Amino acid sequence: MALKSTVFKALLQVSDMDRHYYAEHALTIARHPSETDERMMVRLLAFALHADPRLSFGRGLSSDDEAALWLHHYDGSIALWIEVGLPDERILRKACSRAERVVLLAYGGRAFGPWWQAQEAALRRLEKLEILSIGAEESTALCDLVSRSMELQASIQDGTVWLSGGDRMLEIHPQRLG
């Protein structure tokens, strides 16, 4: 018998001063049995950074053919494809062939350095790809905000994200790599 996804609910208030976007999103997040809290919260952070009423979560780890998050035009074409983690270059190349714009939110602690060294040259050739990375301490700290029902506030200014929930506040500095 296959394990089922765990469902999380998040009420996310986004105040993005960089994009002049201010909205509240009621999100349902299905966490695949093999997905960690850290990866799920990085997906949530990616949502906050690119919030839009049409941005949605893909099927995640259970499907190589879908983005972690994506935004479709009304005609069904893909405007934005967002991946998280340290994916293989071929996945990002495929995403670039299908979407107008691709964003990777990379995280992975000590694994990030060797991954970036091996992938950098190939990834820099992908014109539609934008790469952001967050440090290991920042990505693991996101786990402190996890609960089955979350009320979170994300304030974004000058590329810095302040994410708070309950009595916790995190300051996250995504670094642009490409």
Q: Mind listing the domains of the chain with CATH numbers? A: 6-176 (3.10.640.10)
Q: Give the model confidence (pLDDT) of 58-87 as tens digits.
A: 876 556 678 999 999 999 999 999 999 999
Question: What pLDDT is attached to residue 166?
Answer: 87
Instruction: With residue 148 as reference, give the H or E element that holds it.
Output: none
CA distance 77 to 22: 25
Q: Give the model confidence (pLDDT) of 6-39 as tens digits.
A: 899 999 999 999 999 999 999 999 888 888 999 9
Question: What pLDDT is attached to residue 148?
Answer: 94
What's the pTM value of the predicted model, to 2 decimals?
0.93
Question: What pLDDT is attached to residue 123?
Answer: 94
- Furthest CA-CA distance within the chain: 47
